[in-house]
């Protein structure tokens, strides 16, 4: 690192972006640093995964926060290299907090989006989900949009990388052809967190759960919930109970979980390899049995 250059030094970036002095800092990982400001506030500074990543995350956090539903860390500032947000104090998950999270997720989704694939205001078209690029291209028909902009791009990349063979890819492509019959009743675009796995749910000591690291966009609300199912989440049954009490899901939603998991599974196949690719094919096979 070169001290004093905000593009290289996270501590210098915090001072530049918050206009406050940093009194202490510690690096938590290669791209994440915790810093204490001269007013006593503790913030986190994150390096971007690639072009547009910090802009996309900052826009996503502000878009989610604007609903006044699920707590997210406040954005203190960002540039092309760094994002500075408030630190979320962590506690332990409990059933009451989980049910509250479910109700708040329902309200977040109900806040809506202009279109499927709509980026948050000020967010770039070329965004990210974790370490993978993700394009936000608007569409009006969820099955067609989901196939074209969420499933097939990662399927092609997985084939190109040798993670999936052409026969397996054909199974996922057939699933995409049948999506209009498998997608359930049409719903308006929901405001999604977009990368809602357990690691992005932080349980606070005050009985509230906060969400971090969004890949926010307009999508189908069942996609967020399918992500929670995919990687597990403490008290998931209570989260779903709170959600259903607030905004009941359409009949057959459990049968559609695998369809909505195709997107994150293929993203993980591209990033982490064959195990996730096989899970994606299995999800497609199971969904096709209902055709």
Q: What's the length of the chain?
A: 291
Verify that 114 and 135 share a domain, yes or no. Answer: yes
- Beta strands per DSSP E along 13-120: 22-27, 32-37, 42-47, 75-78, 82-86
Nearest to 45 by CA among 70, 20, 12, 21: 12
Per the domain annotation, does 264 fall within a domain? yes
Q: What CA–CA distance (Å, rounded) separates 285 from 266?
A: 14
- Residue that is written with structure tokens 């913030």 in the block: 43
Q: What CA–CA distance (Å, rounded) separates 213 from 36?
A: 21
Per the domain annotation, does 5 fall within a domain? no
Q: Is 195 annotated in the active site?
A: yes
Interacting residues of 96 by C-beta distance below 8 A, sequence separation 6+: 207, 238
Q: Cβ(225)–Cβ(247) under 8 Å?
A: no
Q: What is the pLDDT of residue 168?
A: 97
Q: Tens digit of pLDDT per residue, the chain (291 long)?
A: 333 334 579 999 999 999 999 999 999 987 899 999 999 999 999 998 888 999 999 999 999 999 999 999 999 999 999 999 999 999 999 999 999 999 999 999 999 999 999 999 999 999 999 999 999 999 999 999 999 999 999 999 999 999 999 999 999 999 999 999 999 999 999 999 999 999 999 999 888 999 999 999 999 999 999 999 999 999 999 999 999 999 999 999 999 999 999 999 999 999 999 999 999 999 999 999 999
Helices (H), 150-289: 152-160, 166-177, 179-182, 221-231, 236-246, 257-272, 274-288
Quote the domain boundaries for residue 44.
Answer: 10-86
Q: Catalytic pick from 79, 94, 195, 245?
A: 195
Verify that 133 and 160 share a domain, yes or no. Answer: yes
Domains: count for the chain: 2
Q: What is the CATH number of the domain that holds 61?
A: 3.30.200.20
Q: What is the pLDDT of residue 215?
A: 98
Q: What is the CATH number of the domain that holds 118?
A: 3.90.1200.10
């Amino acid at each position: 690192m070169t001290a004093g250059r905000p593009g290289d030094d996270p501590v210098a970036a915090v001072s530049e972006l918050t206009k406050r002095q940093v009194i202490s800092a510690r690096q938590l990982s290669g791209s994440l640093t915790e810093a204490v400001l001269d007013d006593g506030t503790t913030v986190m500074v994150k390096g971007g995964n690639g072009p547009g990543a910090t802009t996309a995350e900052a826009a996503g956090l502000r878009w989610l926060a604007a609903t006044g539903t699920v707590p997210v860390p406040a954005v203190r500032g960002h540039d092309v290299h760094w994002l500075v947000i408030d630190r979320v104090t962590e506690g332990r998950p409990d059933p009451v907090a989980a049910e509250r999270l479910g109700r708040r997720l329902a309200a977040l989704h109900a806040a809506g989006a202009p279109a499927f694939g709509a980026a948050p205001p000020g967010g770039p078209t070329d965004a990210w989900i974790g370490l993978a690029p993700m394009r936000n291209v608007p569409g009006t028909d969820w099955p067609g949009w989901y196939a074209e902009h969420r499933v097939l791009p990662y399927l092609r990349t997985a084939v190109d990388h040798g993670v999936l063979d052409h026969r397996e890819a054909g199974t996922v492509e057939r699933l995409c052809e049948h999506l209009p019959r498998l997608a359930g009743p049409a719903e308006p675009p929901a405001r999604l967190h977009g990368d809602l796995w357990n690691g992005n749910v932080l349980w606070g000591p005050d009985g509230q759960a906060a969400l971090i690291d969004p890949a926010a966009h307009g999508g189908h609300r069942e996609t967020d919930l399918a992500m929670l199912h995919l990687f597990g989440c403490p008290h998931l049954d209570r989260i779903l109970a709170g959600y259903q009490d607030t905004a009941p899901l359409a009949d057959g939603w459990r049968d559609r979980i695998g369809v909505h998991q195709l997107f994150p599974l293929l993203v993980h196949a591209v990033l982490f390899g064959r195990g996730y690719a096989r899970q994606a094919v299995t999800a497609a096979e199971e969904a096709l049995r209902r055709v």
